[in-house]
């Protein structure tokens, strides 16, 4: 074999072309690295075993049929899937589409993963990209505005809010239930909805708006109609959801209620801006209100956001989730009155010695346990920890979650006889209470329903 000498080389690169080659190396390396990443992802994902679809459509059924079927009979479908697959991962055609189901053991693993987005899962589940339901997309704000305000500002001011909340609760209970000491009947769900609307507004919008009957009526109506409509739309494929606002009278009512909330909030927001502008013109300190309007503006750091939409969204979440929890807790106590006297004794003892402070909340252990038990006994959904993968994720045990995949954790552990010996009986609040008393802080913290800690 002959080795080509200089005479056989048809082209000798010039110094200029060599310089250009050197300059292009970073770009070439970047492209090569990108290709390697893509190929690696393809190789990894092509070699994994795909979890089975537990309720796949038969040849004569559509995906929409299975979604509607899950909406009507999800509990039985999950029980059958659990029986067939046990702790194995599997997929379900849920009312919001195909979802990878993880056993409860994965809860701690996925809880804080930034690659698994709760915000994007909310948009899909509650149709946040559909006209009239945009408030379900506020968690996607580039500054994570809602999350930041709740964790940074609201938590910091809890101690300053306890007294005004207590005063407002006294006033609200007198308005809703009356001062007559005689027993009377009440529709507890409606009464708690009113109470929650007043107290959440006291926190979010201050002492004037929490007694504004127009706002209270509008926010309650919006919460009720919006939640019902999202449930009805859940099973529809995206291309049909986009038509709902234009074809459904119920969706029109949701938009009208949302617009009414905006109309009531806008003058308040305008007034706040005017007060701050006037202070700046007069070289005076800007007024501080220490409510959600103020905190949103502080944490937005100049980024665009719809102030009225964000306020309405937060009110919806607070009113819906809190009223549901309190209603369940009160009905639970009504069926198990033996807990009432013990709860009263704890409240009197703790508040008498510590007052209504953030620290006192940690010592209301039986109350915390009863709230946790009410959620366990009647959970809001079969599935918890909903997430959407922003990129392909490989967990520590090798489990692969593909980009764009919806995931959720099976909530069966809340009624598992292996964990709760009598899951159908309302007795585990005492078990949770005993765990709270455990000298081992790790074990005791596992029994908490509410934990507040600095972030």
Give SS3 for 454: coil
> Closest by alpha carbon to 45, among 390, 386, 393?
393
Q: Each residue's pLDDT tens digit in the chain (455 positions)?
A: 443 433 333 333 444 443 443 454 454 445 544 454 444 444 444 555 689 999 999 999 999 999 999 999 999 999 999 999 988 999 999 999 999 999 999 998 998 899 999 999 999 999 999 999 999 999 999 889 999 998 888 888 877 888 888 899 999 999 999 988 888 899 999 999 999 999 999 989 988 899 999 999 999 999 999 999 999 999 999 899 999 999 999 999 999 999 999 999 999 999 999 999 999 999 999 998 888 999 999 999 889 999 999 999 999 999 999 999 999 999 888 888 888 888 899 999 998 998 877 788 888 888 888 888 888 888 878 899 999 999 999 998 899 999 999 999 998 888 888 877 777 777 655 555 555 555 565 555 555 666 554 33
The CATH H-level (homologous superfamily) assignment of domain 143-317 is Cytochrome P450 (1.10.630.10)
DSSP SS3 for 289: coil
Tokens of 78: 């999950």
Q: Which of 298, 235, 243, 292 is nearest to 93 (CA)?
A: 235
Q: Indicate the angle between helix axes 292-300 and 249-281, nearest 10 degrees.
A: 80
Helices 188-209, 249-281: inter-axial angle, 10-degree rounding: 20
Torsion angle of C-alpha atoms 41, 44, 47, 48, degrees rounded to 10: -110
Name the percent of the chain in helix, strand, coil, to the closest 5: 65, 5, 30
In order, the DSSP letters of 349-387 are HHHHHH-S-HHHHTT-HHHHHHHHHHHHHS-S-SEEEEE
Cα of 364 vs its chain's centroid, Å: 25
Q: Are 244 and 130 in contact (CB under 8 A)?
A: yes
């Amino acid at each position: 074999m002959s080795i080509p000498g200089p005479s056989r080389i048809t082209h000798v690169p010039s110094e200029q072309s060599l310089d250009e080659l050197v300059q292009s190396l970073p770009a070439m390396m970047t492209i090569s690295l990108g290709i390697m990443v893509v190929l690696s992802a393809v190789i990894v994902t092509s070699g994994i075993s795909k979890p089975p679809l537990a309720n796949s459509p038969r040849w004569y059924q559509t995906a929409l049929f299975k979604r509607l079927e899950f909406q009507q009979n999800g509990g039985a479908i999950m029980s059958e899937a659990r029986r067939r697959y046990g702790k194995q991962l599997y997929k379900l055609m849920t009312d919001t589409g195909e979802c990878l189901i993880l056993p409860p053991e994965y809860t701690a693993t996925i809880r804080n993963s930034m690659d698994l987005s709760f915000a994007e899962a909310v948009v899909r589940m509650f149709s946040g990209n559909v006209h009239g339901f945009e408030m379900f997309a506020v968690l996607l704000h580039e500054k994570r505005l809602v999350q930041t305000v709740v964790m940074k500002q609201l938590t910091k001011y809890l101690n300053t809010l306890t007294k005004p909340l207590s005063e407002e609760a006294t006033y609200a209970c007198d308005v809703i239930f009356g001062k007559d000491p005689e027993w009377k009947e009440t529709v507890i769900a409606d009464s708690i909805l009113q109470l929650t609307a007043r107290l959440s507004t006291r926190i979010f919008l201050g002492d004037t708006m929490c007694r504004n009957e127009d706002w209270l009526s509008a926010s309650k109506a919006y919460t009720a109609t919006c939640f019902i409509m999202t449930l009805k739309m859940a099973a529809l494929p995206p291309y049909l959801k986009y038509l709902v606002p234009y074809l459904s009278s119920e969706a029109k009512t949701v938009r009208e209620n949302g617009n009414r909330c905006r109309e009531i909030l806008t003058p308040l927001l305008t007034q706040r801006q005017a007060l701050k502008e006037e202070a700046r013109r007069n070289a005076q300190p800007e007024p501080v209100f220490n409510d959600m309007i103020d905190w949103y503006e502080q944490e937005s750091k100049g980024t665009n956001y719809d102030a009225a939409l964000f306020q309405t969204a937060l009110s919806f979440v607070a009113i819906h989730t809190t009223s549901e929890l309190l209603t369940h807790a009160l009905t639970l106590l009504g069926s198990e009155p033996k807990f009432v006297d013990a709860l009263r004794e704890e409240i009197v003892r703790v508040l008498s010695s510590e007052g209504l402070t953030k620290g006192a909340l940690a010592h209301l252990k039986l109350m915390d346990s009863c709230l946790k038990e009410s959620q366990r006994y009647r959970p809001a959904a079969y599935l918890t920890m909903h997430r959407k993968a922003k990129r392909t994720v490989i967990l520590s045990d090798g489990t692969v979650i593909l980009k764009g995949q919806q995931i959720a954790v099976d909530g069966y552990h809340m009624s598992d006889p292996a964990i709760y010996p009598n899951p159908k009986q309302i007795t585990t609040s005492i078990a949770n209470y005993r765990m709270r008393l455990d000298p081992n802080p790790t074990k005791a913290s596992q029994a908490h329903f509410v934990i507040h800690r600095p972030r």
